[in-house]
Structure 1
Amino acid sequence: MQSTRPLTVALVDDYDVVLVGLAHMFDSYSDRVVVAEIDATTGLSDTVDIVMYDSFAQPESDHDEISALVGNPRAGKVVMYTWNFHPDLVAGAQQQGVHGYLSKTLPARELVASLERIHAGETVVSDPPRRTSPASGLDWPGRSEGIADRESEILALITQGKSNAEVARLTYLSPNTVKSYIRSIYRKIGATSRTQAVLWGVAHGFSPDNHRIDHWRGGP
């Protein structure tokens, strides 16, 4: 369903490269979606129709950020945008009051259509994605160095100082799977230790700008 005016959509994430990649997905749909991109230096004074919370490398079992967005008076509807479709995460987000839980594998046309359905009053939850390529136009730290999307999330968590056990808990992966991802990351970046991996991460854009979430939590 198409609105009489373009939807206003705010994108919330702690990583600029993630925001830019997501914003570019809407380039061909400017008659239907207008992006208000939130960053550390630009506040948003107007109410928006939909806030898309990209959960890249966020502690997804901690619902504080989702609660802040749902409770923000400027956010009409709140949508999770993620690769992680663990049933507990989906159920928890819905209990928090999100209006959509959308997969990063959706092509832009389906993503726009889903946002329009949500704006019209539906609750939209994507089918759990198989491990397929992410939607065209998405970006993440380390992609140009050959780091895959899930590896990027794990490296971001490592750069933030998370232990393997914490990474496993936050990503709903087994400890052995996390170790396998970390070995692959080390090979790709030429690291032989965790310290080297953290230093590489900091130098390649894996340090989040938490001011963005704090801005939304604090309101106008």
Structure 2
Amino acid sequence: MDPVSAGTRPITVALVDDYDVVVMGVANILDHYRDRVVIAELDTNEPLEDPVDVVLYDSFAQPESDHDEIAALVGNPRARRVVVYTWNFHPDLIRHAQQKGAHGYLSKALSAAQLVDALEAVHAGERVFSEPPGRARPASGLNWPGRSEGLTDRESEILALITQGKSNAEIARLTYLSPNTIKSYIRTVYRKIGVDSRTQAVVWGVRRGFLPDHHRIEHWKGGP
């Protein structure tokens, strides 16, 4: 049942990621459902400030084997529920998220309507874990650094990790991809952005927003 017709308020959501463009993209797709979900806070490398019903933690270009951020959010009294939003469904990542207390593990292949349904279910007390998707395209409206230059979400994530100074071995470990797969992604990225070396790729990335931001946008479009 629609929460408005049921006489309940929309749930409040904080979006957490290292990159402004990522949280802004998620906020925009959810803005069509403001009668059910209201974005109360957008945080990039800033601690959660306001009490919210659900924190949606986007894993873009964050060390996916480092679960300190999930544990910190789960332990934050301002976050009533914590949900991981990702395209990486390696079984170890799902298990670690569960062990850290995440209330949901949602695929970026979900449509906006499906995402809202899942957030409402989590808010109602359910634990919602998406089925591992195929390599489906992310939900319409999502954004990431490099998308306008033709980079896919995963290619952009690899380039972001390169820009952060990660080695191929570290990137493979963090993303649960094989070293050969990482090398293949890097060759494709270099070709797409027109560079021949790691140094050139880092410079390209720095100039185009591939380093984490430190910012907060509060009260998205007049929300609470």
User: The TM-score by the shorter chain falls in which range?
Assistant: over 0.9
The aligned residue for residue 79 of structure 1 is: 83
| 1:37-82 per-position Cα deviation (integer Å, ceiling 9, x unaligned) | 3246988643100000000011111111111100001000000000
Over the residues paired in the alignment, what is the CA RMSD in angstroms?
1.7
Q: Secondary structure of 1:38's match? A: strand
Partners in 1 of 2:26 and 2:54 — Cα distance? 14
Give the 3 Å change call, closer, same or farther, for CA 71–163 of structure 1 in structure 2. same
> Of 90, 97, 104, which aligns to 1:93?
97
CA distance in 2, matches of 1:159, 1:77: 32
| Alignment of structure 1 residues 186-197 onto 2, 5 Å | 186-197=190-201
Partners of 1:202 and 1:68 in 2: how far apart? 28
Flag the 1:193–1:90 CA change in 2: closer, same or farther, 3 A.
same
Decide whether the 8 Å contact of 1:19 with 1:37 is kept in 2. Answer: no
Q: 1:40 to 1:179 in 2, by over 3 A?
A: closer
Note the residue ranges of structure 2 that are not aligned, 5 or more in a row.
Answer: 217-224
2:154 matches 1:150: yes
Residue type at the aligned position of 2:145: P
Aligned to 2:122: 118
Q: 1:144 to 1:177 in 2, by over 3 A?
A: same
Post-superposition shift, 1:155?
0.4
- Other-structure match for 1:33: 37
CA drift at 1:211: 6.8
User: Which residue number in structure 1 is paired with residue 22 of structure 2?
Assistant: 18
- Contact 2:159 2:189 (8 Å CA) reproduced: yes
Match of 2:18, SS? coil
Secondary structure of 1:60 counterpart: coil
What amino acid is aligned across from residue 167 of structure 1 in structure 2? I
Q: CA deviation at 1:129?
A: 1.0
Counterparts of 1:1-220 in structure 2 under 5 Å? 2-3=2-3, 4-39=8-43, 45-209=49-213
Task: Kindly state the Cα deviation for residue 9 of structure 1 after the two structures are TM-superposed.
Answer: 0.2
Query: How many residues align structurally?
Result: 212
Whole-Å separation in 2 of the counterparts to 1:40 and 1:135: 21
SS in 2 for 1:26: helix
- Find the residue that maps to 1:56 and give its secondary structure: coil
- Which deviates further from its counterpart, 36-45 or 114-123? 36-45
TM-score (norm 1): 0.92
- Identical residues among aligned pairs (%): 73
